[in-house]
Amino acid sequence: MSRSRTLLAATFALLLIPAGARHATAQHLPDLVTTDVLRVCGDPGNMPFSQRKEDGFENKIAAIVADELKVKVRYYWLTQGPGFVRNTLGTGLCDLIIGSASGAELVQNTNPYYRSAYTLVSRKGDLTGVTRLDDPQLKGKSIGVIAGTPPVSRMGELGLVSAMKAYAPYQLDPGRKNQTVAAEIIADLAEKKLDAAVLWGPAAGWLAKQSGVEMDVVPLLQEPDRPALIFRISMGVRHEENDWKRSLNTILRKRRADIEQVLRDYHVPLLQEEENKLLQPEKN
């Protein structure tokens, strides 16, 4: 899904943590979810997803869920990375992770509520018409990517390693200029230290808009299935809590239009459920 602090880098880090054995009767236990407040497991500095000011798109989506439940949101803040699930959902300190790649084994996933892709980001007009990583225009270009994320493998297959600038994940230095590694890459692209970047679309779209430099953000929709560069995103709950998952699925269906609008407001590239095509806004 490294401390890239983009949603995907965090997700892949979570998948590395052993889930631990569960007793055979665990599936019969009642849900332990707190009902008088929505307790959300969140990262305090991971824009555009979430931050302590609650102005990320996952914060907005959490507010929609809380509105439907008629309760307030309470956050348990922890920087995403190894141990995030174990130290949040696993300890019972919170009941919901807003963004989790569908299929993640450490959590039980709700139905997916959006589908998105990795993107190629460049300064506007510099790489006109480039929609694939095997495009000859990328040869010899300096391309920023977060170490350990799926595009690294694809770029290696295409012989782009020499052009790749892999940014180290989990940079925990509090004195660094940018909040996340993805933000650092976009800042370097804006300052012409890079020719392009390959980043998870939900981070790239918003960061590019915030950069102060016009940029093209092109979803990579024509790449092979392996390594996957397109993912469905769900909410994550504890494995035993099936009633809670069903309640969330009902809310996701009921508030689908509101959630989609939040994602569009944050420039998340949204894909159709089954086809690798951009999802067009519904006409009123």
Residue 52 confidence (pLDDT): 97
The pair of three-digit structure tokens given for residue 185, joined into one six-digit string:
């890459």
Residues of the chain with CATH 3.40.190.10: 37-114+232-266, 115-219
Cα distances (angstroms) measured from residue 164 to each of 9, 96, 111: 17, 36, 35
Residue 171 confidence (pLDDT): 60
CA 207 vs. chain centroid, Å, equals 13
Residue 20 confidence (pLDDT): 32
Residues of the chain by 3-state class (helix, strand, coil), percent to 5: 30, 20, 50
Residue 163 confidence (pLDDT): 86
Predicted TM-score (pTM) of this structure: 0.88
Cα distances (angstroms) measured from residue 75 to each of 20, 40, 42, 97: 25, 5, 6, 10
Give me the CATH topology for the region 37-114+232-266.
D-Maltodextrin-Binding Protein; domain 2 (3.40.190)
Multiple choice CATH, 115-219, 3.40.190.10, 3.20.20.70, 3.40.50.300, 3.30.2130.10: 3.40.190.10
Pairing of strands 215-219, 108-109: unpaired
Residue 170 confidence (pLDDT): 67
Residue 30 confidence (pLDDT): 55
Q: Which residues of the chain have pLDDT under 50?
A: 1-29
Residue 17 confidence (pLDDT): 30
Residues whose CB is less than 8 angstroms from the CB of residue 5 and which lie 6 or more positions away in sequence, other chains included: 43, 45, 46, 79, 80, 179, 180, 181, 182
Residue 31's identity, in one-letter code, is D
Q: How many other CB atoms are there within 10 angstroms of residue 104's CB atom?
A: 19
Query: Do 111 and 236 touch, CB atoms closer than 8 A?
Result: no
Residue 83's identity, in one-letter code, is G
Residue 214 confidence (pLDDT): 98
Pairing of strands 45-46, 72-77: unpaired
Residue 175 confidence (pLDDT): 67
